[in-house]
Amino acid sequence: MRIHRLRISAFGPFAGTEEIDFDRLSAHGLFLLNGPTGAGKTSVLDAICFALYGSVPGARQDGKRLRSDHADPATEPAVSCEFSAQGRHFEVTRSPSWDKPSTRGKNGFTTQQAKTLLRERVNGEWTEKSGRNDEAGAEITGLLGMDREQFTRVVMLPQGDFAAFLRSKAADRLDLLQKLFGTQRFEAVEQELSLLAQEARNDVSRLNGQLELLTARAEAEVSAVGIDESDAPPAADPAARIEWLQAALTVRAAGLAGEAEAAASLSREHRQALDTAVARTGRRCRLESATARKAAAEEAAPLLAAHAARLSRHRQAEVLTGQLQAVEKAEAQLRSAAAAREAALTLLRMAVEEDPELGRLDPDAPDAERELDRLRSLLAVVEARLPDEERLRALTARRTALGRTKEELQAAGIELDGRLKTLRAEYADVSSGLEPLAELAAAAVMHTKEAAAADELLDVVRRHHSAVAAQLLASEHYEACREDQLQKKRRWLDLREERLANAAAELAAQLADALPCPVCGSPDHPSPAKAAQSALQLGQAEEEAREVFEAAEARLSTLGTELAGAKQLVAVLAGQGGDTPEAEARKAADEARQAAERSDQAAAKLEGMRLRLTEIETRIAEAETARAAAGEELAQVQSTLAEVLEQATALHESLSGLRSGHRDLTHRLRALQEASRTLEKTVQAQAQLDQAEVRAADARQQLELALPEAGFNTAGDARAELLDSAEAASLQAEIRAGHDEQARVAELFASEEVMLALEEQELDLFPDEAQLGELQAAAAQAEEKARAAGLSAAMAKRCVESLNDIMAEYQDLAGSGNAPRERARMLTALADAAGGRGENTYRMSLNSYVLAARLEQVALAASERLVAMSDGRYLLQHTDAKAARGAKSGLGLEVVDQWTGHRRDTSTLSGGESFMASLSLALGLADVVQHESGGIQIETLFVDEGFGSLDEQSLEQVMDALEGLRDGGRVVGLVSHVGEMKQRIGVQLQVVKGRNGSALHISDTVSPLS
């Protein structure tokens, strides 16, 4: 997997859009990611991780804070990463969720959801693969062969985490190793074995519990009967004890059954004697009761005869009930009709005195029927003229409305006249100001061009001043660099001259015994020249001075080119007027801009005045049209008003006679109706009185004819014999109850029980209270003994049956429990061994065992680099030594000091040694995880911080090891702000921090180590 390009927009500390060309950085194999603290070095790594996996490492996973606080509120945050993996080329672009400014959103913002776009480059063109977050994430994870945790451990090597890993305990190392190597399946095997063992133990526990429950049930069954258990087997042997209890309980149940049968026979004898005595006592009570009832019936016979005679007389009078009620009802109706007629006459007399319509009647002898006929005729006439009065009312209302309309039209005409006058005056006033504005607006284009030219000149003047300052600065730099170049050239020439002067010493250094001299050819070298210092050192110093001189000369050439460019820019700007005084240029620009503004304002005002004139003309035409329409409508209203007034006057005169002093015909009609109703009541009351008198006479006549037939002389005699319904029913019930009682007494003395009681009375066979109590006590005692004996026998029988069932079930369960017990023992031992318990003396779980093998591979891979970094002194070694105090073993690490041959704990390493060990561990872990992930090639690596703890020699060895990572085309990025690293690595990705956000810059000056 190789990263080619990264583009960051409004992400983290980067407010704008920053683009990183990793192909350019990759050309040198090793580059430095540096910048001040808080500038955003780690944010570059976060951007890569977010683009690939949609989240950032560690505690920075809060996606709501990924957007830059320095960016414009409307700028969308996004990260785009172009990478290649498995021979394919991809680009992924992700945008986190963020709040976009919106006038319709809550609190002025609308939440934009996270977006993802994955593209693949096929045949030179980009093809969209997915636009879904989850789908693109699954595709990338499959391509890289790593999830986010593995990627951040393998590609982005966090030294702080591995230093903690180096010093941590075995239990803490387990978490990281399990995440990286994905050994959760082995932990799942441990858990599954534990669950199976627990289930097997639960099965055995349930089986034992059932056997114990059966034993307890057997004990409970026997305890309810009560037997002698002195010879019973102990509770430790439940099978034998249950078998003994079964036999003992069978014998005890047989004995209890015999006792119950004897007690039941004795109880039946006592019960029979008691039943005979109770029956005789009952018959005596019934005889006494019958004798008392017979005496009471004989005593009530005369009263029953009197009640029967009284009820017979009531039946004779009851025949006349209809005639008596008819007479009473007729007389009541007659009285009511007379009172109603008198009340109607009273009301009529009062109405005659108050109502003018009834003024013709005589209050003492009013002729109501004739007056009623007259009023009804008058009512018909008034009702017929009601529509005329309604028409008069409508004409009156219309006359009022027309009068208001006339006044409104007259006022509107006056108002329209005034409006026309005002509008014409306004039109004349606006027209008079058009000509001056038109002249000023015509020069707007010219003034705008002049203002633009003046602003351009002012810009040229300012640029000229800046260019002059830049020229002076470039000249100073050029002179300083020229002086430095001359000094470095003199230094190189001095070293060269010294080396030439020491040429004899160089030749002498190359001489060897028995070999000819390259100058004289002699194999003898009696007195070789001595050099002041090593020729090799002089040659190396001369070469270094030459390289420094060539670099200074290249720098001088670059500054000379920059100085020439600055001079040329000053000349060009001066030709465009840049040497004009800035105050003069600024004044001319301000005056031109003001003139352009005045012309623009005049043009805008002119356009507004023209629109205003058009509006006034339209309003004048509308007012004239409205005034003409109002005049026509006023003439029409006046004509209609005259016609309505004439019709209303004629109707009023024709209806005034019918009103008869009332306000209108409706009130007259109501008065006539009220008077008619009063007369109608009087006439109706007289008719009802006449009818009531006729009905009362008929009812009295019918009653007089029916009295002799019923046996009565007068109506008063008949009413005296009548009884109310309740009293008659009561007498009838008493008579019927008396006769029924006499019949029942006769039947009672004829019954077999009373006849037998009479015989027993003559023979004196009735028992007294004392004899009966003795018999009851003896029967109850015998019955209680029989019942107790029966319950004991029945319980013993049931217990025998239950105990037989318990014994059979116990034998079945005991025979089926051997296989579950053996399976539980085997699974428990296996689960304990896999979980680091039981006979597992190392307390190493299956998961730890697998991870220990992986850690051993990591230690071997890490040691290859640690040996090089530590100058062959240290190597890392995995240890599975048994931990102290029963702690889990298998994930131990120790350092082997090859200089002394001793082993020691990793926590004893110094700061620099700990850094080299953790870096080696991180690189070794990356190699092993890469191999475990299917051999995926990781061509881009990042190493984060920690170099500041190394001395110069250790740093040199670490850098050599990191240089080795570039073999095979691998690119290594070092994240650090250590000054020494900046000097050693010339290819740098620099993060520049500012108040408005950070920016990125690539510096690819060749490093001395390259």
DSSP strand pairing (78-85 vs 892-897):
unpaired
Scanning the structure block, which residue is given the tokens 């296989």?
819
Q: Per-residue pLDDT averaged across 743-753, rounded?
A: 79
Give the lowest-confidence range in 46-50, 170-174, 587-591. Answer: 170-174
DSSP strand pairing (30-34 vs 987-992):
parallel
pLDDT band with cut points at 50, 70 and 90 for residue 120: very high
Picking from 961, 895, 878, the residue whose alpha carbon sits closest to that of residue 177 is 878
- Characterize 643-679 residue by residue with b for buried, 16 or more Cβ atoms within 10 angstroms of its Cβ, and e for exposed: ebeeebeebeeebeebbeebeebeebbebbeebbebb
Crossing angle of helices 818-834 and 769-816, rounded to 10°:
50
Tokens of 493: 């020439």
Cα 317 from Cα 325, distance rounded (Å): 13
Contact between 858 and 814 (Cβ < 8 Å) = no
Looking at residue 89, its pLDDT comes to 92
Q: How far is CA 269 from CA 273, 770, 787, 918, in A?
A: 7, 20, 15, 107
Looking at residue 932, its pLDDT comes to 66
Give the lowest-confidence range in 270-279, 503-512, 566-575, 918-927. Answer: 503-512
Whether the per-residue pLDDT at 647 is higher than 90: the answer is no
Cα 745 from Cα 805, distance rounded (Å): 66
Cα 102 from Cα 74, distance rounded (Å): 9
pLDDT band with cut points at 50, 70 and 90 for residue 882: low
Picking from 841, 853, 900, the residue whose alpha carbon sits closest to that of residue 878 is 853
From start to end of 296-447, where are the E strands? none
Whether the per-residue pLDDT at 199 is higher than 90: the answer is no
Contact between 221 and 246 (Cβ < 8 Å) = no
331-386 pLDDT per residue, tens: 888 888 888 878 877 777 777 776 666 766 766 666 777 777 777 777 777 777 77
757-783 pLDDT per residue, tens: 787 777 877 777 787 787 778 878 888
CA distance between the termini of the chain: 24
Contact between 314 and 721 (Cβ < 8 Å) = yes
> What angle is formed at CA 685 by the lines to CA 683 and CA 691, rounded to 5 degrees?
105
CB proximity list for 158: less than 8 A, separation 6 or greater:
57, 152, 922, 944
Q: Per-residue pLDDT averaged across 276-301, rounded?
A: 78
pLDDT band with cut points at 50, 70 and 90 for residue 19: very high
Q: How far is CA 54 from the centre of its chain?
A: 24
Give the lowest-confidence range in 186-200, 257-271, 446-460. Answer: 446-460
Of all residues in the chain, what percent carry a pLDDT higher than 90? 4
CB proximity list for 832: less than 8 A, separation 6 or greater:
197, 838, 839, 840
pLDDT band with cut points at 50, 70 and 90 for residue 571: confident
User: What is the number of other CB atoms lying within 10 angstroms of the CB of residue 71?
Assistant: 20
668-697 pLDDT per residue, tens: 778 777 777 877 787 788 888 888 888 888
Q: How far is CA 916 from the centre of its chain?
A: 50
Contact between 80 and 93 (Cβ < 8 Å) = yes
Cα 689 from Cα 141, distance rounded (Å): 116
Give the lowest-confidence range in 342-351, 409-418, 737-746, 933-942. Answer: 933-942
Cα 157 from Cα 605, distance rounded (Å): 71
User: What is the number of other CB atoms lying within 10 angstroms of the CB of residue 472?
Assistant: 12
Q: Per-residue pLDDT averaged across 935-951, rounded?
A: 66
Overall residue count recorded for the chain in this entry:
1010
Q: How far is CA 190 from CA 828, 833, 845, 848, in A?
A: 11, 9, 8, 11
pTM recorded for the entire structure:
0.40
DSSP strand pairing (874-879 vs 892-897):
antiparallel
H or E stretch at 333? helix 321-354
SS3 988: strand
Give the lowest-confidence range in 403-412, 468-477, 584-593, 715-724. Answer: 715-724
Q: How far is CA 633 from the centre of its chain?
A: 70
Looking at residue 1007, its pLDDT comes to 41
Of 572 and 213, which is predicted with more confidence?
213
Whether the per-residue pLDDT at 885 is higher than 60: the answer is no
SS3 76: coil
The whole-chain average pLDDT of the chain stands at 77
Contact between 983 and 959 (Cβ < 8 Å) = no
pLDDT band with cut points at 50, 70 and 90 for residue 404: confident
Contact between 116 and 139 (Cβ < 8 Å) = no
Most confident of 89-98, 162-171, 725-734: 89-98
Cα 325 from Cα 999, distance rounded (Å): 123
Residue 367 gets which letter from DSSP? -
Q: How far is CA 422 from CA 29, 425, 618, 619, 801, in A?
A: 89, 5, 14, 11, 126
Looking at residue 445, its pLDDT comes to 66
Looking at residue 161, its pLDDT comes to 60
Residue type, 126: W
H or E stretch at 913? helix 911-932
From start to end of 840-922, where are the E strands? 874-879, 892-897, 902-905
Give alpha helix (H) positions in 838-898. 846-869
Picking from 579, 589, 592, 574, the residue whose alpha carbon sits closest to that of residue 455 is 589
Can you say whether the dihedral through the CA atoms of 838, 839, 843, 845 is positive or negative?
negative
pLDDT band with cut points at 50, 70 and 90 for residue 1006: very low
pLDDT band with cut points at 50, 70 and 90 for residue 443: low
Of all residues in the chain, what percent carry a pLDDT higher than 70? 82
pLDDT band with cut points at 50, 70 and 90 for residue 205: confident
H or E stretch at 156? strand 156-158
Picking from 796, 794, 806, the residue whose alpha carbon sits closest to that of residue 216 is 806
CB proximity list for 1008: less than 8 A, separation 6 or greater:
984, 986
Contact between 990 and 35 (Cβ < 8 Å) = yes
Give the lowest-confidence range in 42-46, 124-128, 624-628, 794-798. Answer: 794-798
SS3 324: helix
For the chain, the 3-state helix, strand and coil shares in percent, each to the nearest 5, are 70, 10, 20
Whether the per-residue pLDDT at 536 is higher than 70: the answer is no
Contact between 609 and 499 (Cβ < 8 Å) = no
What is the full DSSP assignment across 415-445? Answer: HHHHHHHHHHHHHHHHHHTHHHHHHHHHTHH
Half-sphere exposure of 105 (CA within 13 A, CB side): 11
Whether the per-residue pLDDT at 557 is higher than 60: the answer is yes
Residue type, 426: E
Q: Per-residue pLDDT averaged across 930-957, rounded?
A: 66
Cα 197 from Cα 830, distance rounded (Å): 8
